[in-house]
């Protein structure tokens, strides 16, 4: 990148403003869409048709009194929200919005910067953001936030492994880790169709990475009051909410960049001249990002929260093994394509067959386990007795007098 300093500053300011505006709009859209799904009214009081509700909520949170627990670690308690917000914003620096355009007579790409390992940079930034949640739970000096922080630790470890493995096949076919290079490699073919298993694994992992329903275990209100941010209020609580929605935007933009052609126009719009030139690609990019944001909202309105052990089983026993097998399949197929000239669709066909085989095996194992009765006194999860009933004794001693009687 050879942009002048003022052009870099302008693009950084535009990226930051885009993220803030997306957060404000996504909160309002989420409340409206959930209200429509649940057959009730959404925000409709503040501003015309309730359009200023998100802005007023942010101002209200900023003006509220900040209360800190007496037993909290003051410095870490204040630092945790900042650690959550800053990496979420920084990760967007390598996302390409569009091709080269002319700004004030200078040719520049619609991207703040690019790196040879840009995708790994985004993954590292997302990992650092998880420290904010962990430190918030530990520094609060309360039991429920600590449990939420521990859950977040296990969640990040589980799902970032699967997410990183889904990137490997993209690197194999694009031949680079640069985000702009990956977008260029999808000219005429989107990796979402060519590398379908990687796309499905990434979409599942990004929901777990952002702590969104049905994977919102670190802030489960049913069992943890509010999770890691239970003891936070005012502007600190608002910063956690800001980090969550910025992370949603970042992982959605990364999904668009890696699997949906980035800023390239979808078919059949791409067949027209000029669809991928000028400022039009910015429109396609934003539309694709909002499609993923709608999926986040849709999942929250339709799926219940998973049990924690079910959540970990999906990460470790399903997604990671499938990702490993798919990486080996894609690497083998890529070698055949380059060496023997095999058709590219064999990768997707092999991946679909592999996923079906793994799914059938997992289904058989689950059905075998479901037919085996699990007793509360034996192995399995401890189940409390129902109301008005005693737990059966593990051992019954029959006396000789009872037999004679």
Buried b (16+ CB within 10 A) or exposed e, 257-296: bbbbbbbbbeeeeeeeeebbeeebbeebbbebbbebbebb
Buried b (16+ CB within 10 A) or exposed e, 361-396: eeeeeeeeeeeeeeeeeeeeeeeeeeeeeeeeeeee
Beta partners for residue 101, in sequence order: 108
Distance of CA 392 to the CA centre of its chain: 44
pLDDT of 352:
65
What predicted TM-score, i.e. pTM, was given to this entire model? 0.83
Distance of CA 391 to the CA centre of its chain: 42
The Cβ of residue 321 has, within 10 Å, a number of other Cβ atoms equal to: 13
Helix, strand or coil, per DSSP, at residue 377:
coil
Angle formed at CA 86 by CA 12 and CA 55, multiple of 5 degrees? 80
pLDDT of 123:
87
**Tokens standing for residue 69:** 């627990």
Count helices and strands in the chain by DSSP H and E runs: 15, 2
Name which of 316, 334, 357 is nearest 160 in CA terms. 316
pLDDT of 375:
44
Q: What single string gives the DSSP state of each residue in 55-116?
A: HHHHHHHHHSPP---TTS-HHHHHHHHHHHHHHHHHGGGG---EEEEEETTEEEEESS---T
pLDDT of 341:
55
Contact between 148 and 221 (Cβ < 8 Å): no
pLDDT of 373:
46
Helix (H) or strand (E) holding 343: none
DSSP state of 172: H
Residue bearing tokens 């669809």: 275
Question: In degrees to the nearest 10, what's the CA dihedral of 275, 278, 282, 288?
Answer: 20
Residue 41, CA atoms < 13 Å, CB-side half-sphere: 5
Q: Could you read off the pLDDT tens digit of each residue along the chain, which spans 405 residues?
A: 577 888 999 999 999 999 999 999 999 999 999 999 989 988 988 889 888 999 999 899 888 888 888 888 889 999 999 999 999 899 899 999 988 888 888 888 899 998 999 999 998 888 888 888 888 888 988 888 888 888 888 888 888 888 999 999 999 999 899 999 999 999 878 999 888 889 999 999 999 888 888 888 888 777 887 888 888 988 898 999 899 899 999 999 999 999 999 999 988 888 887 888 888 999 999 999 999 999 999 998 898 888 888 888 888 888 888 888 888 888 888 877 776 555 655 556 666 666 666 666 666 665 555 544 444 444 454 555 555 555 555 555 555 565 665
pLDDT of 105:
82
CA distance 185 to 173: 8
Say if residue 328 is exposed, middle or buried (CB neighbours under 10 Å; 0-12, 13-18, 19+). exposed
CA distance 385 to 379: 16
Beta partners for residue 100, in sequence order: 109
pLDDT of 379:
44
Q: What single string gives the DSSP state of each residue in 214-276?
A: TS-GGG-HHHHTTGGGTT--HHHHHHHHHHHHHHHHHHHHHHHHHHS-TTSPPTTGGGSTTTT
Task: Output phi, psi for 226, to 5 deg.
Answer: -145, 0
């Amino acid at each position: 990148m050879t942009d002048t300093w003022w052009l870099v500053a302008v693009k950084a300011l535009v990226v930051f403003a885009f993220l803030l505006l997306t957060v404000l709009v996504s909160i309002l859209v989420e409340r409206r869409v959930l209200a429509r799904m649940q057959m009730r009214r959404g925000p409709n009081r503040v501003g015309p048709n309730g359009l200023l509700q998100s802005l007023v909520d942010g101002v209200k949170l900023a003006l509220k009194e900040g209360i800190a627990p007496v037993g909290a670690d003051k410095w870490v308690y204040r630092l945790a929200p900042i650690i959550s917000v800053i990496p979420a914003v920084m990760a967007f620096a390598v996302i390409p919005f569009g091709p080269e355009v002319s700004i004030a007579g200078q040719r520049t790409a619609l991207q703040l910067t690019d790196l040879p390992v840009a995708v790994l940079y985004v993954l590292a930034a997302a990992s650092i953001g998880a420290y904010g949640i962990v430190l918030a739970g530990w520094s609060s000096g309360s039991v429920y936030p600590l449990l939420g922080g521990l859950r977040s630790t296990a969640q990040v470890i589980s799902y970032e492994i699967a997410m990183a493995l889904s990137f490997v096949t993209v690197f194999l076919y694009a031949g680079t880790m640069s985000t702009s290079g990956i977008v260029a490699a999808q000219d005429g073919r989107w990796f979402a169709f060519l590398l379908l298993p990687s796309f499905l694994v990434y979409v599942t992992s990004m929901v777990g990475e952002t702590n969104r329903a049905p994977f919102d275990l670190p802030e489960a209100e049913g069992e943890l009051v509010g999770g890691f941010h239970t003891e936070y209020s005012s502007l600190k609580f608002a910063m956690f909410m800001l980090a969550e929605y910025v992370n949603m935007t970042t992982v959605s933009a990364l999904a668009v960049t890696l699997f949906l052609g980035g800023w390239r126009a979808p078919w059949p719009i791409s067949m027209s001249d000029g669809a991928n030139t000028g400022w039009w690609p910015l429109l396609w990019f934003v539309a694709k990002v909002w499609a993923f944001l709608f999926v986040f909202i849709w999942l929250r309105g339709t799926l219940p929260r998973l049990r924690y052990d079910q959540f970990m089983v999906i990460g470790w026993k399903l997604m990671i093994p499938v990702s490993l097998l798919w990486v080996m399949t894609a690497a083998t197929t890529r070698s055949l394509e380059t060496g023997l000239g095999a058709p590219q669709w064999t990768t997707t066909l092999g991946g679909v067959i592999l996923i079906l085989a793994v799914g059938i095996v997992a289904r058989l194992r689950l059905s075998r386990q479901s037919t085996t009765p699990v007793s509360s006194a034996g192995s399995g999860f401890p189940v409390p007795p129902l109301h008005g009933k005693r737990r059966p004794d593990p051992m019954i001693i029959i006396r000789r007098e009872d037999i004679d009687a």
